[in-house]
Chain A
């Protein structure tokens, strides 16, 4: 059983399109995250949700909209895709509070915008 699963693993699309990436965790964690890893492998947090509430919202274009229907799911919708959005997007989860720093990552979703 995969602890943090993301779909799709690969996504190739044209500029201007809208796409979504889904994430589910079966660890019972109450906090979920989206991280972006660029071509130089730099990992940067985008969003964090704790019990379905947005608690971290970094400086991310508002074309990116996360949604957490319940604490086991966190989806990422991206509107009007741009070339610079090409990256690997990682979902992660953790316990909140003092355990908030121990993250379990998914395998990533590689987005290529043409």
Chain B
């Protein structure tokens, strides 16, 4: 059962454009929603995260929008750059010692010149 659904699978954006990746979750017990960025040959690295008490979080060019009632959240990358080309994973978990991150299926982003 895929508890976190992510789309699109791949995305091509021109330099300077806005990249948008969407995720939907099923488990209402989830209370932590991070995004991870993975470059080829590297492990995923935490990019930005949000908790459901806010609807938006912004860090530089990266923004998470969160819709608790719809059980959806999205990553917006403003002014996308070629260096942003990577695979992006949304994830969700509930907090606690035995919590585990459930990842989405990933979105391969390519930013062209």
In this complex, the member of A31, A43, A103 whose beta carbon has the largest number of chain B beta carbons within 10 angstroms is A43
Find chain B residues with CB under 8 A from A55 CB: 97-98
Find chain B residues with CB under 8 A from A103 CB: 44, 46, 101
Whole-angstrom distance between the Cβ of A109 and the nearest chain B Cβ: 10
Known A101-B34, A106-B43, A107-B41; contact A96-B103, beta-carbon cutoff 8 A = no
Would A42 and B105 count as touching, CB distance under 8 A?
Answer: yes
**Chain B interface, number of residues (Cβ within 8 angstroms):** 25
**Chain A interface, number of residues (Cβ within 8 angstroms):** 27
Q: Please, how many angstroms separate the alpha-carbon atoms of A93 and B97 in the complex?
A: 12
Q: Which residue of B lies closest to A98 (CB)?
A: B95
Type the 1/0 row for B32-48, where 1 means its CB is closer than 8 Å to any CB of A. 10100010011111100
Would B87 and A41 count as touching, CB distance under 8 A?
Answer: yes
Would you list which residues of chain A between 53 and 112 have a CB under 8 Å from chain B?
55-56, 90, 92, 96-98, 100-108
Would A100 and B96 count as touching, CB distance under 8 A?
Answer: yes
Would B99 and A108 count as touching, CB distance under 8 A?
Answer: no
Known A31-B97, A96-B97; contact A43-B32, beta-carbon cutoff 8 A = no
Task: Point out the residue from A42, A92, A96, A104 that lies within 8 Å of B106, measured CB to CB.
Answer: A42
Would you list which residues of chain B between 67 and 102 have a CB under 8 Å from chain A?
87, 89, 93, 95-102
Q: Please, how many angstroms separate the alpha-carbon atoms of A42 and B103 in the complex?
A: 8
24 A-B pairs in the complex with CB atoms less than 8 angstroms apart: A4-B43, A31-B97, A41-B38, A41-B105, A42-B105, A42-B106, A43-B89, A43-B103, A43-B106, A44-B103, A45-B101, A45-B102, A50-B98, A55-B98, A90-B44, A92-B43, A96-B97, A98-B95, A100-B99, A101-B32, A101-B34, A102-B34, A103-B44, A106-B43
B residues at A contact (CB < 8 Å)? 32, 34, 38, 41-46, 49, 87, 89, 93, 95-103, 105-106, 108
